[in-house]
Chain A
């Protein structure tokens, strides 16, 4: 079954404690991306990757890092989380015709 898997689904942490949200896809897609979803703002792109070792900033990259060492994995790293990063995060991978497949989401609360 084609899928994008994110972990964890829920995470509560404290300000400044480094965390990583993992994302893995089994569709051999070259393109992967991270979005955050906030009420009234829709989804906004954080980072994207066009292939292994190729990453670039999206619209709201501040406070986030990513890496793409393998084609299937695209982790999102928050080195020093702050309360304004409390949000719902989605990983996506892209195939043909601009169609993107989304993970189930990670709900992060930073206290």
Chain B
């Protein structure tokens, strides 16, 4: 079945550091790929998405490129801020008879220190 493997956390960085959170997936066909972010005490919010190979999703300075050859969707940001501290989830979606189920990775907790 479908699965998503993402970098184990927690990750702690200093403000303005470069961030990479690795994500790889296993799925048949052509899934859509997502990064969701969960701030403390809140639900998940979509951060960015890509729907086909070589697409780059971007939002709030974060980027991720859909790499079909390596089945990866790594999240990057050039200069992190304290406000980026959250849990980040990589996910895929492959519509299956109308079920738009998201398959999530286990999440990576990111802490940015001033």
Contact = CB atoms under 8 A, between A and B. Distances in A.
A111 B77 CA distance: 42
Interface of A: 4, 31, 33, 35, 40-45, 48, 50, 56, 58-59, 90, 92, 94, 97-105
29 contacts: A4-B43, A31-B98, A31-B100, A35-B102, A40-B106, A42-B4, A42-B89, A42-B106, A42-B107, A43-B104, A44-B104, A45-B102, A48-B101, A50-B98, A58-B101, A90-B44, A92-B102, A97-B51, A98-B93, A98-B95, A99-B46, A99-B49, A100-B46, A102-B43, A102-B45, A103-B43, A104-B41, A104-B43, A105-B43
B32 interface: yes
A90 B45 CA distance: 12
Contacts of A102: 36, 43-45
Interface of B: 4, 32, 34, 36, 41-46, 49, 51, 89, 93, 95, 98-102, 104-107
Closest 7 CB pairs of A and B: A102-B43, A42-B104, A98-B93, A102-B44, A43-B104, A42-B106, A50-B98
A58 B105 CA distance: 16
A10 to B, nearest CB: 11
Nearest to B45: A102
A97 to B, nearest CB: 7
A100 B100 contact: yes
Given A40-B106, A41-B106, A42-B107, A98 B100 contact: yes
